[in-house]
Structure 1
Amino acid sequence: MQRVQAEGHCRLALVLALDVSASVDAAEYALQRDGLVAALRAPDIQRAILQGQGAVALSVFEWSGRQQQVVVLPWVMLRDRAALEQAIGVIARARRSYSGFPTAAGYGLGFGAGMLREAPACDRQVIDVSGDGINNEGFAPALAYKHFPFDGVVVNGLAILGPDEGVQRFYREEILHGPGAFMVTAEGFEDFRRAMTLKLFRELNDLQVGERADGTTTCCG
């Protein structure tokens, strides 16, 4: 993969990791993909991307089993509205890469770390992991953080509530990594758009927030 050049100040390299494991059915996959597209089209998000102090680099990949990680959107510098709309179009046209595989979160995190090694030089590096289940194949996130290059990387979580009652605790206790890491909770895939919009807004603006006892977060007034 060819490294994208920042060509000017880049404030944030952001990797979005979308869950396509067996627990995500076709309708839920569409809600996740289309929810991300809608979040990126939200006026507050577009302003946060295009009017900040420095550009934003974005990439997106899907993850599930040990070897089932596929790049949906290679690194792109979002310098202007045309670049942003082109990136949104690529995501909107995506077709699911895999189905029927387990949830290998450690492998997904390792893949995300590899993506960041190819990212432009930016002030901050963030991986944004979404999912509706806990790790059930391969090594745990702790081993990924130990053996892959995560120095200076923040990993945030978007926990999607559903049949797996342990997902919220798993994301809070095992996925979150780095200073200021936070989790947003979606009340099912139907709530993914709202949760992703909130999450992107906070990541793009580097907002510091408080966390409630249940793992949800409060923000900024």
Structure 2
Amino acid sequence: MLLAVPAAAADCRLALALAMDVSSSVDPSEDRLQRQGTAAALASPEVAAAFFAADLPVALAVYEWSGRYNQQVILDWTMIDSPAALTGAAETVAASLRGHTEFPTAMGYALGFGAGLLARAPDCLDKTLDMSGDGQNNEGFGPAIAYREFAFDGITVNGLAINAADFEGELGLIAFYRREVLHGPGAFLVIADGFPDFARAMRQKLVREVSPAAIGGLMRRKEDR
């Protein structure tokens, strides 16, 4: 009933963009774990159930990011309106090849690219950008400037921190994501215990992101990990 009024004017309930880190700190095996982990999460029964738990579909896009000008779309906007569409999206991600290997972590530019991608998304009730990464911004402007200079009104930015080397202190990766990356009402962080845990973390995050509001509200009471 809550979705009945706006549904008539919207093509989908959520436009979700997944951003994967391919900066130089991510080696080839770790990159494979990200791609295969994302594909496995999309193909999992619990994620499929969340995608199809409401009448309105979810629109999905995936891109990789690293340096200032090194972002590449892996999956352009796809309406996930059937199991076949979800399977196709997972297969596209699984078959994708890394575009760059040698560039630093320019997260502000990656966020700006995501804002532009969401600006041309289908007409959805909500918009979410899902930022995954194993490091803090080390090139160009950071998230705070990106949120100020790009069109982030109405966009929630969630985080998936790949805790591969440290990082619990106030200057570490997890604190950076919580302090600088999360953006918008209800934004949340999921922590992967290294790249081998990426599939589990992505699965957890996708279920929470794409579940209808009533289910997502219950899940928000849980811890980040």
TM-score over 0.5 for the pair: yes
User: Gaps (5+ residues) in structure 1?
Assistant: 1-5
Query: In the alignment, which residue of structure 2 is the partner of 1:37?
Result: 39
> Of residues 176, 182, 190 in structure 2, which corresponds to 1:184?
190
> Of residues 29, 54, 59 in structure 1, which corresponds to 2:56?
54
Deviation at 1:86, TM superposition (A): 1.5
CA contact (8 A) 2:10 2:125 kept: no
CA contact (8 A) 2:10 2:124 kept: no
- Secondary structure (helix, strand or coil) at the match of 1:123 reads strand
1:157 aligns with 2:175: no
Deviation at 1:48, TM superposition (A): 1.2
CA contact (8 A) 1:21 1:65 kept: yes
* Structure-2 separation of matches of 1:151 and 1:53: 26
Aligned residues, how many?
A: 209
Amino acid at match of 2:202: M
RMSD between aligned residues: 1.6
Query: What is the CA deviation profile of residues 126-145 of structure 1, one whole-angstrom value per residue up to 9, with x for unaligned ones?
Result: 00000000000000100000
Deviation at 1:163, TM superposition (A): 2.4
User: Gaps (5+ residues) in structure 2?
Assistant: 1-7
CA contact (8 A) 1:66 1:107 kept: yes
> Of residues 146, 169, 173 in structure 2, which corresponds to 1:167?
173
Query: In the alignment, which residue of structure 2 is the partner of 1:114?
Result: 116
- Secondary structure (helix, strand or coil) at the match of 1:65 reads coil
Query: In the alignment, which residue of structure 1 is the partner of 2:149?
Result: 147
Pair 1:139–1:211, CA change in 2 (3 A): farther
CA contact (8 A) 1:160 1:186 kept: yes
* Structure-1 separation of matches of 2:193 and 2:81: 33
- Compute the TM-score of the two structures, normalised by the length of structure 2: 0.89
- Secondary structure (helix, strand or coil) at the match of 1:103 reads coil
- Compute the TM-score of the two structures, normalised by the length of structure 1: 0.91
Deviation at 1:211, TM superposition (A): 6.7
Deviation at 1:196, TM superposition (A): 0.3
Shift >6 Å, 4+ stretches: none
